[in-house]
Chain A
Amino acid sequence: QVQLVQSGAEVKKPGASVKVSCKASGYTFTSYHMHWVRQAPGQGLEWMGIINPSGGSTRYTQKFQGRVTLTRDTSTRTVYMELSSLTSEDTAVYYCARGEQWPIWGQGTMVTVSS
């Protein structure tokens, strides 16, 4: 079935980077964009960016421009979200979600930034 499986929880120190993966299965990987969304504890959803797995083109919200990088590996059907210069405000659950009607979301990856 169509599925997105994300990597496990991470604990990082301020100033570090984190890289979260999202492995797709059950559909043609290169046919659908992938969104990344985050949710801080007790807060709402926040759109971060999108990648086209076919050509690798990306688009980010201005808030994260320069600090977030989305990449993909077509051989493993995996999309990656890397966020750098982490602060405590980046503590959140990070989700991937398939574009075009958003039919499926990953289970989420908790990233905790703490000294």
Chain B
Amino acid sequence: QAVVTQEPSLTVSPGGTVTLTCGSSTGAVTSGHYPYWFQQKPGQAPRTLIYDTNNKHSWTPARFSGSLLGGKAALTLSGAQPEDEAEYYCLLSYTDARPVFGGGTKLTVL
């Protein structure tokens, strides 16, 4: 099974910009991995922010965007707000149709 890697933790200043990345042990991440990004706050179920690399749900704040960057999937937060402090998980799909989650990135807004 592939291993999906994320930064364990990142810190961003209020109003600042931060990019979280999601890599794959099998090589470059492409749109064919259909990258997803989820946000989870303590005690809550995850919430899907981004699907299929860069598509947003109606509830996804405009300050979040998804992309491919340097062989990885990326989630960029522009204009961080205190309420964005959370754990963020990416999910990649593989040819065996068994998706794999990354280990998560704990984002601190400070």
Chain A residues proximal to chain B, CB less than 8 Å: 37, 44-47, 59-63, 95, 97, 101-103, 105-108
Q: List residues of chain B with CB within 8 A of the CB of A106.
A: 45
Given contacts A101-B57, A103-B57, A105-B47, contact A47 B104 (CB under 8 A): no
Given contacts A95-B46, A102-B48, A105-B45, contact A59 B98 (CB under 8 A): yes
Chain B residues proximal to chain A, CB less than 8 Å: 1, 36, 38, 40, 45-48, 51-52, 55, 57, 89, 91, 97-104
Instruction: Report the minimum CB–CB distance from A42 to chain B (whole Å).
Output: 11
Q: List residues of chain B with CB within 8 A of the CB of A59.
A: 97-98
Apart from A45-B91, A62-B1, A101-B52, what are 10 other A-B pairs with CB-CB below 8 Å? Answer: A44-B89, A45-B46, A47-B98, A101-B48, A101-B55, A102-B36, A103-B48, A103-B57, A106-B45, A108-B45
> A47, A101, A108: which contacts B101 (Cβ < 8 A)?
A47
Instruction: Report the minimum CB–CB distance from B60 to chain A (whole Å).
Output: 11
> B1, B47, B103: which contacts A61 (Cβ < 8 A)?
B1
> B45, B55, B100: which contacts A47 (Cβ < 8 A)?
B100
Nearest A residue (CB) for B59: A103
Tell me the bound Cα distance from A56 to B36 in angstroms.
Answer: 25
B45 touches A44 (CB 8 A): no
> B48, B55, B99, B103: which contacts A44 (Cβ < 8 A)?
B103
A45 touches B89 (CB 8 A): yes
Nearest B residue (CB) for A96: B45
Tell me the bound Cα distance from A108 to B103 in angstroms.
Answer: 19
The residue among A46, A103, A106 with the most chain B CB atoms within 10 A of its own CB is A103
Q: List residues of chain A with CB within 8 A of the CB of B101.
A: 37, 44-47
